[in-house]
Structure 1
Amino acid sequence: MAEIIKLYEKNTSEKHLQKIAKVLKEGGVIIYPTDTVYGLGCDIKNNKALTKVARLKNVKLEKANFSFICEDLSNLSDYVSQIPTNTFKILKRNLPGPYTFILPGNNNLPNVFKKKKTVGIRVPDNNIARSIVKTLGNPIVSTSIYDEDDLVEYTTDPELIAEKWGDLVDLVIDGGYGDNMASTVIDLTKDEPELIRQGKGSAEI
């Protein structure tokens, strides 16, 4: 059964963050809060963990539409090709926030994602998520545990999340009740922004 770690947005425990980062570096999979629904995440650099997340979501890893959770926009160039100034302005204006922005990937993408040519970038407006990424030192690959067919409580209440997922993951980070609406997904790889999925964030960017 996964260990549950309680964290608070305004006062994230350094000791707990170090423990979470250690689990991630060792190939662990965690469930953690964001500014939308709870996410299922792992270290972007650990192939074994990436494969496990894909298996948990019932998708082939090379075809999975996972997001990269970043602390801020400073490391964008690690995985994203050079983007126009107006695109960067959109990112700066809306992040941190409840958005997944699809951007052109570069050659630094993990091998399993290189064929996709694009990457979904998230900078959640949630201090717990960003602190985990900061402590880890690189992005987390993430997918929501939200399921259209699920009872809402199972994706918003950390105790019920732990009950349902506890045997499948290594840690559940309890950051209080989550939201029941996923992020808004916007494609910024074309001349004009294209709304892919309407979620919590406004489509007016």
Structure 2
Amino acid sequence: MAQYFEVHPQNPQPRLLKQAVALLQQGGVLAVPTDSSYALACHLDDKSAADRLRRIRELDEKYHLTLLCRDLSELASYARVDNRQYRLLKAATPGAYTFILEATREVPRRVSHPTRKTIGLRVPDHHVLQELLAAHGAPLLSTTLIAPGETESINDAQEIRQRFERQLAGVVDAGACPAQPTSVIDLTPMGTGGDAQVVREGRGDLAALGL
């Protein structure tokens, strides 16, 4: 049965975040709020937790999972970033964007794309999630919380609890999230002199980045 953490959206209780982090460190998968929608999240270095996350969503190994990072310095530990890419990332973070970048050796092979060696990364603009990431002290592996066979994300924490309580270790309820996915931008072409490519237009404002 999933533990339920009802936290204040602006001043999340440290005691509850600490309990949620303990579940992550024990290999649990959590439902967490983001600046785009609720997401599933787990410890990056726990293979069984990552496998469980994929099973909940019914995703195969070719599906890009995303690393939730606290800031650009943390992101740069897991992706190769040149000066052009960094300038765009700096303008866009934190925010509702997911960036596809070349993965470094710090990223476990099971997490990066099996043929392209790329990884999706983002720095979310959500206070509770930022506090959770700080308490955890490392990025979290994540994917949008969409039920198998459905196309829309679930943004009501009570509904998440009811539908997934036997599959999740916990639900962090910080109120409703925007029901719109992130904008996904592939930055890998920039590494060879090309331009960033928009893979999906979502909540993140592309015009603000000149895209």
Structure 1 and Structure 2 fold alike (TM over 0.5): yes
Alignment of 1:23 with 2:23, yes or no, is: yes
Q: After TM superposition, give the deviation of residue 151 of structure 1 in Å.
A: 8.6
Match of 1:167 in 2: 166
- String of CA shifts for 1:123-158, please: whole Å, max 9, x gaps: 111011111111111110000013596496x71211
2:106, 2:203 → 1: CA distance?
30
In the alignment, structure 2 segments of 5+ residues that lack a partner are none
Q: Percent identity, please.
A: 29
Match of 2:67 in 1: 68
Match of 1:196 in 2: 199
Match of 2:91 in 1: 93
Which amino acid in structure 2 is aligned with residue 34 of structure 1? T
- String of CA shifts for 1:178-200, please: whole Å, max 9, x gaps: 11111000001102010001111
Q: Structure 1's 148 and 112: CA in aligned 2 closer, same or farther, altered over 3 A?
A: closer
- Map 1:151-190 onto structure 2 (within 5 A): 155-190=154-189
Q: Structure 1's 147 and 199: CA in aligned 2 closer, same or farther, altered over 3 A?
A: farther
Other structure's SS at 2:110 match: helix
1:147, 1:166 → 2: CA distance?
13
1:69, 1:21 → 2: CA distance?
14
2:55, 2:41 → 1: CA distance?
13
Which amino acid in structure 2 is aligned with residue 167 of structure 1? R
2:14, 2:111 → 1: CA distance?
32
1:150, 1:59 → 2: CA distance?
13
Which amino acid in structure 1 is aligned with residue 157 of structure 2? P
Match of 2:109 in 1: 111
C-alpha contact 2:57 2:147 (8 A) present in aligned 1 = no
- String of CA shifts for 1:87-120, please: whole Å, max 9, x gaps: 1111111111000011110111113135341111
C-alpha contact 1:97 1:125 (8 A) present in aligned 2 = yes
Which amino acid in structure 2 is aligned with residue 189 of structure 1? T
Which amino acid in structure 2 is aligned with residue 129 of structure 1? L
1:54, 1:147 → 2: CA distance?
11
TM-score (norm 1): 0.92
- String of CA shifts for 1:64-84, please: whole Å, max 9, x gaps: 311000011111232112x22
TM-score (norm 2): 0.90
2:145, 2:46 → 1: CA distance?
20
1:178, 1:170 → 2: CA distance?
20
Match of 2:145 in 1: 145
Which amino acid in structure 2 is aligned with residue 200 of structure 1? R
Other structure's SS at 2:188 match: coil
C-alpha contact 1:36 1:182 (8 A) present in aligned 2 = yes
1:24, 1:156 → 2: CA distance?
21
- Map 1:7-46 onto structure 2 (within 5 A): 7-46=7-46
C-alpha contact 2:9 2:175 (8 A) present in aligned 1 = no
1:57, 1:65 → 2: CA distance?
12
Which amino acid in structure 2 is aligned with residue 66 of structure 1? L
1:151, 1:198 → 2: CA distance?
15
Q: After TM superposition, give the deviation of residue 9 of structure 1 in Å.
A: 2.8
Q: Structure 1's 147 and 29: CA in aligned 2 closer, same or farther, altered over 3 A?
A: closer
